[in-house]
């Protein structure tokens, strides 16, 4: 299945070949008219009719082949150029060594323009150079008119090829932008529907359960809180997919997901909301925060270790807060609780005793990706600041 870029480029090529078909018809009629007008200049009229008939047959054949993308093969283009060269080469045989105008005349431009459309400016320049070389080689004298024709042929091949390349690039960029806008609009529509419906109901159930914690509503409120967090994470994941995956194959529009490499960009905001429990409050920038997959895994592991310490040292149901800050070239994830804090020197003592939970699970993880972890503690609680710099973030996301 073609990608968006390939489909857009093919559409431009199709349209240019329709224009080239009209041009081919015009220059062919011009060749026939000039041949009839200058019929007395031909030394071999019989062979001239054969050559003209061959040119007409090939004109119709190549027109039918170029109409479809499957027919625009390398072989067809090469044969088209060879026929053009032969039409030029037989001119001295048909008219004699002393002639002014070649048999095909402007018809030779057809092959040059076809190469320019298919291989852009490089193809146009190559085909024009081949035709020009043959044209000059068969002439007994090179005049200023001959030079002007060759110069215009080379210039036209390069210019048409460059314009075709530019049109294809613009069409490709426009197709990707339109597709991205369409997917983003659909995501926004679904997000509004979910927010106005399901999330509102879940939030209402959670508040009702919090007010009646001793009844069956308490358990229901916990379940509602978990589902609300999961649903918000799903919305974040959809936004991340919109930004990172839209320029992929067209087939992804049907819901299929393309396999991603291990370090493919991931949404840290959505992953944080999805990976915490109902007792943890997560605050994010409200949009996807795309980072390399390895960085996201490291931060998720470090945050998980911080929350494990909260459950172990403060309580299983102790509240905690996770704040994600996006500074462009770096991200900071803060994990805070309201426990008794860490006693002075406790971390150093634990490290000396060989208990490397904090050193390995938190600090060690951040060091693997060039990040850092700082802890602030007191009788008000404990706060970890996990910082990771991502200078090549644009390239990664």
- The DSSP code sequence of 242-302 is HHHHTTSBGGGGGT------TT--EEHHHHHHHHS-TTEEEE--SS--EE-HHHHHHHHHH
What is the distance between the alpha carbons of residues 362 and 342, in angstroms, rounded to a whole number? 15
Tell me: the pLDDT tens digits for 105-140? Answer: 999 999 999 999 999 999 999 999 999 999 999 998
Mean local confidence (pLDDT), 278-284: 86
Residue % of the chain over a pLDDT of 90: 42
pLDDT in tens, 63-82: 999 999 999 999 999 999 99
- pLDDT (0 to 100) of residue 190: 67
In this prediction the pTM is 0.53
At 11-37, the pLDDT tens digits run 999 999 999 999 999 999 999 999 999
Residue 330, CA distances (Å) to 141, 325, 335, 388, 389 in order: 70, 9, 17, 6, 4
pLDDT of residue 393: 65
Contact 120, 160 (CB under 8 A): no
Which pLDDT score, from 0 to 100, does residue 3 have?
Answer: 72
Lowest mean pLDDT among 60-64, 211-215, 333-337: 211-215
Domain residue spans of the chain:
1-259, 263-397
Q: pLDDT exceeding 70 applies to what percent of the chain?
A: 75
**Per-residue confidence (pLDDT) for residue 396, from 0 to 100:** 43
d(CA 377, CA 384): 9
Q: Which two tokens stand for residue 64?
A: 């039918």
Query: How many Cβ atoms sit within 10 Å of the Cβ of residue 30?
Result: 13
Residue 377 and residue 382: Cα distance in Å, rounded? 4
- How confident is the model over 164-183, as pLDDT tens digits? 999 999 998 888 888 877 77
181 within 8 A of 242, measured Cβ to Cβ: no
What CA–CA distances, in Å, run from 220 to 60, 105, 196? 76, 86, 20
Long-range contacts made by residues 181-187, C-beta under 8 angstroms, separation at least 24? 183/242, 183/246, 183/253, 184/242, 187/235, 187/238, 187/239, 187/242
Copy the structure tokens of residue 360.
């390995």
Closest by CA position to 350, among listed 321, 303, 312: 312
- Domain 263-397 CATH assignment equals 3.40.50.1000: no
- pLDDT averaged over every residue in the chain: 82
The residues, any chain, with a CB within 8 Å of residue 287's CB and separated by 6 or more, are 239, 269
Taking the C-alpha atoms of residue 191 and residue 186, their distance in angstroms, rounded to an integer, is: 8
Q: Are 79 and 29 spatial neighbours (Cβ–Cβ below 8 Å)? A: no
List the structure tokens of 54. Answer: 């061959």
What pLDDT, on a 0 to 100 scale, did the predictor assign at position 307? Answer: 86
């Amino acid at each position: 299945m073609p990608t968006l870029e390939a489909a857009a480029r093919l559409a431009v090529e199709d349209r240019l070949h329709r224009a080239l078909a009209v041009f081919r018809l015009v220059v062919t009629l011009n060749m026939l008219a000039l041949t009839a007008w200058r019929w007395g200049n031909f030394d071999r009229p019989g062979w001239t009719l054969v050559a003209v008939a061959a040119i007409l047959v090939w004109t119709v054949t190549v027109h039918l082949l170029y109409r479809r993308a499957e027919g625009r093969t390398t072989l067809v283009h090469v044969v088209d150029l060879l026929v053009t060269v032969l039409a030029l080469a037989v001119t001295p045989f048909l008219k004699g060594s002393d002639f002014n105008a070649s048999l095909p005349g402007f018809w030779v431009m057809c092959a040059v323009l076809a190469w320019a459309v298919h291989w852009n400016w490089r193809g146009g320049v190559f085909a024009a150079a081949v035709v020009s070389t043959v044209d000059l080689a068969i002439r007994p004298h090179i005049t200023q008119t001959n030079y002007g024709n060759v110069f215009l042929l080379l210039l036209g091949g390069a210019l048409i090829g460059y314009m075709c390349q530019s049109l294809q690039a613009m069409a490709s960029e426009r197709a990707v932008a339109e597709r991205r806008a369409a997917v983003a609009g659909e995501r926004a529509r679904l997000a509004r529907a979910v927010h106005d419906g399901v999330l509102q109901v879940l939030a209402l159930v959670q508040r009702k359960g919090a007010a009646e914690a001793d009844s069956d509503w308490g358990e229901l409120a916990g379940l509602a809180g978990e589902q609300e967090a999961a649903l918000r994470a799903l919305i974040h994941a959809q936004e991340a997919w919109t930004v990172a995956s839209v320029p992929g194959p067209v087939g992804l529009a049907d819901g299929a997901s393309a396999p991603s490499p291990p370090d493919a960009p991931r949404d840290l905001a959505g992953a944080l909301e999805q990976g915490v429990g109902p007792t943890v409050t997560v605050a994010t920038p409200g949009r996807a925060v795309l980072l390399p997959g390895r960085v996201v895994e490291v931060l998720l592991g470090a945050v998980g270790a911080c929350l494990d310490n909260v459950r172990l040292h403060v309580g299983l149901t102790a509240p905690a807060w996770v704040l994600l800050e996006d500074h462009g070239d770096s991200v900071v994830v803060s994990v805070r609780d309201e426990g008794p804090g860490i006693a002075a020197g406790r971390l150093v003592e634990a490290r000396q005793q060989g208990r490397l939970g904090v050193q390995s699970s938190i600090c060690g993880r951040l060091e693997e990706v060039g990040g850092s972890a700082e802890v602030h503690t007191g009788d008000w609680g404990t706060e970890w600041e996990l910082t990771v710099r991502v200078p090549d973030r644009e390239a990664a996301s």
